[in-house]
Structure 1
Amino acid sequence: MSARKLIALAACVAAVSALPWMVRAAPAAALLGPGVISTGLQETTAAFAPDGDTVYFLRSDLSEKDDTIVYAQRRDGRWSTPQVATFSGRWHDSEPTFSPDGRRLYFVSNRPLRPGGAPLVAEVAGHRFAGTNLWYVERQADGRWSAPVHVEGALNDGAQIYNPSVAANGDIYFSAHRVDSGKAYQIYVARRTAHGYAAPERVALGDLAHNRMDPAIDPRQRFLLFAGDEGDALGRADIYIAFRQPDGRWGRPEHLGGEVNSEALENAPTLGRRFGELYVSSNRQPAVAFPKPRDDARSLQQRLSGPLNGSRNLWRVDIAGVLRAHGIAP
């Protein structure tokens, strides 16, 4: 979620009325790869390969003007130093996500649609910024990634597509501001057909006054996670879950409790490879009590440049109990 989207989110927050029932999640949040993956920079959008030991994610500066997709591998329980993905490093690339079978890695980018062309630019209310279209790379027989492939279809209209998430049948969920979004961002689905992708359909989740972004779809489309504020968020944005109803419609979004959300910003939820494993981006940090133990130059530098300095990091939480309570099994 960019700074521009955060401004839009803040402008669209509705007044809090009666708080709905809060879904309870297991109270265990763990920082992913502290000091290696989660650092004093911005890290969001964890995408795990099928082996569970390779993770692609977004790393950027604090203003998110320089987004790059990097990856790390876990060996003997330790994460390697992140490296820039072979297909990234030149353009404004962000928000990676694997297809459930791991054969494709989707991402959004401002790269030109044709070699030698100009990078994509989007404009809102006179403000110009890096545009985004959906691309993917495909795993080759030798294990390397293919050259990036542009996804054709109406889902890329407007150069503003964010946080793709792919179901097992190929349907792609994403967030965007389109003609039927109202004043906020909404979640859409582009259904896979024999002839490519159908025109996006807005996912009906309630009042269009609420921003809804960063979808994470269950591969079997039984539930949908997203970031936003349904009127009861603890911070600027929290993580919500909606369950598919017997009639095929989506139920009312429910606020996730436990340690999924905090008074800080939570966004970019992604599902891990284990049942109930959820990764979220958050800029939560410990409270500072005064008087504090006196810092020297070394301790001050170490603390202020570390993962919990207010930058966004990747956190692992568990929602298996929530899923089971709603009849969802592995």
Structure 2
Amino acid sequence: MWFRTIQVGVMFICLWAGLSGQTKAGPYLGLTLPGSEAAPFAPGVLNSGLATRDITLMPDGSQIYVGLFLPGFRKAVIIETHQEGDRWTAPEVAAFSRDPRWRCLEPCISPDGRRFFFVSDRPADPRADKPGPFGIWVMDWTGTGWSEARRLPIGVNGTGNAFYPSITREGVLHFLQEEGQGGWLMRSAWKDGAWTVAEKLPPPFNADPRQANPRVDPDGRFILVPLMGRSDSLGGADYYGYFRRDDGTWTGPVHLGPTVNSAAGDEYSISLSPDGKVVFFGSNRALPRLDGKPLRWADILAERTQPGNGQTTLWWVDAGFLWEIRAKALASPAK
């Protein structure tokens, strides 16, 4: 995660009204799946004009968790909603994210639904009263809820900041260790009841530290990474994919195109839905709602409480473009 000043005005959010008016029983809050053009996910429900990004779902889609940031990154919380019978619960701050002293972000549920990873600056020592470095924490599914969170060992988190965990079905955790203006893509495996010491991903990864939050495919077929400063970038941070060949080697970074990248915004978090149908991503691109028409005070105020207003918004789009890019990349001769 690269931290920037998040400038969000004070705004009133009525999440329950949005939920009851826009959702129904069924996957993804009962919303119609997106097409080939990206759109804000659940506007007025989980996207309400605040800086919103990072999403994870239980494998069966019955629980959704989303990251939300308050102005200036003063607070970072994880919001949850669950499907209960024929309705979804009103979005609420998850219980493990409610302590006002600590920030929680970047949730990720393992492909089997048994572990919940997230990032927090809560101290490893429960007696401490000051934030520590950001690190990866984990909870276990008990059958009725999530266990108490515990910080992963220093052999994984290191002594600095660690961000954006994601894990394969085989138990290989991928994440970012921050260093300077970027960070290194790391991995650690759950083996014989313990985590192995984290190591840098080998080439072609980590050629340039100007990179952000890696998201590994549960089946290890690809790793999606925001990169900066490349010649084919549309501007700012763009999403790229590394794709694994049948022989175990990897392609170099492949630009994921204008479906998820834009010249008018930065992109810092991306993930594939458990069913493989949807790509979710964060972007601060602005929708042109106020362009080309006389401005009214009411319109300007309303703009501040809608996704796509220039704050980071959680978008979703049909995943077909990703599979097409992957097929093309794997068909190209290895260099």
Q: TM-score range by the shorter chain?
A: 0.7 to 0.9
Match of 2:60 in 1: 51
Q: For 2:183 and 2:5, how far apart are their aligned partners in 1?
A: 8
1:294 and 1:212, CA in 2 relative to 1: closer, same or farther beyond 3 A?
Answer: closer
Match of 1:166 in 2: 167
Task: Tell me which of 20, 36, 42 is aligned to 2:45.
Answer: 36
1:35-74 C-alpha deviation (Å, 9 max, x unpaired): 1111211111111112224211111113223111111235
Q: For 1:262 and 1:77, how far apart are their aligned partners in 2?
A: 37
Is residue 222 of structure 1 aligned with residue 224 of structure 2?
no
Match of 1:308 in 2: 308
Contact persistence 1:36–1:79 (CA under 8 A):
no
SS at match of 1:136: strand
Contact persistence 1:183–1:208 (CA under 8 A):
no
1:222 and 1:298, CA in 2 relative to 1: closer, same or farther beyond 3 A?
Answer: same
Match of 1:138 in 2: 140
- Structure 2 counterparts to residues 121-160 of structure 1, below 5 A: 121=132, 131-141=133-143, 143-160=144-161
Query: In the alignment, residue 142 of structure 2 is paired with which amino acid?
Result: Q
Contact persistence 2:182–2:212 (CA under 8 A):
no
Q: How far off is 1:133 after superposition?
A: 1.6
Q: For 2:78 and 2:278, how far apart are their aligned partners in 1?
A: 22
1:300 and 1:4, CA in 2 relative to 1: closer, same or farther beyond 3 A?
Answer: closer
Match of 2:124 in 1: 113
- Structure 2 counterparts to residues 1-330 of structure 1, below 5 A: 1-4=1-4, 27-73=36-82, 80-90=89-99, 91-121=102-132, 131-141=133-143, 143-177=144-178, 184-203=182-201, 204-206=203-205, 208-229=207-228, 230-263=230-263, 264-287=265-288, 292-295=293-296, 297-323=297-323, 326-327=326-327
Q: How far off is 1:250 after superposition?
A: 2.1
Give TM-score scaled by structure 2 length: 0.80
Query: In the alignment, residue 160 of structure 2 is paired with which amino acid?
Result: A
Q: For 1:317 and 1:323, how far apart are their aligned partners in 2?
A: 13
Q: For 1:246 and 1:60, how far apart are their aligned partners in 2?
A: 40
RMSD of aligned C-alpha atoms?
Answer: 2.6
1:290 and 1:67, CA in 2 relative to 1: closer, same or farther beyond 3 A?
Answer: closer
1:99 and 1:291, CA in 2 relative to 1: closer, same or farther beyond 3 A?
Answer: closer
1:110 and 1:210, CA in 2 relative to 1: closer, same or farther beyond 3 A?
Answer: closer
Contact persistence 1:153–1:198 (CA under 8 A):
no
1:34 and 1:291, CA in 2 relative to 1: closer, same or farther beyond 3 A?
Answer: closer
Query: Which runs of 5 or more structure 2 residues have no equivalent in the other structure?
Result: 7-34, 329-335
Contact persistence 2:217–2:223 (CA under 8 A):
yes
SS at match of 1:43: strand
Moved more, 105-114 or 246-255: 246-255
Q: How far off is 1:109 after superposition?
A: 1.0
Query: In the alignment, residue 173 of structure 1 is paired with which amino acid?
Result: H
Contact persistence 1:47–1:96 (CA under 8 A):
yes
Moved more, 285-294 or 271-280: 285-294
Query: Which runs of 5 or more structure 1 residues have no equivalent in the other structure?
Result: 7-25, 122-130
Q: For 2:205 and 2:219, how far apart are their aligned partners in 1?
A: 22
- Higher relative contact order by CA 8 Å / sep ≥ 6: 1 or 2? 1
Contact persistence 2:2–2:182 (CA under 8 A):
no
Contact persistence 1:68–1:89 (CA under 8 A):
yes
Q: For 1:43 and 1:227, how far apart are their aligned partners in 2?
A: 17
Q: How far off is 1:78 after superposition?
A: 7.7
1:78 and 1:3, CA in 2 relative to 1: closer, same or farther beyond 3 A?
Answer: farther
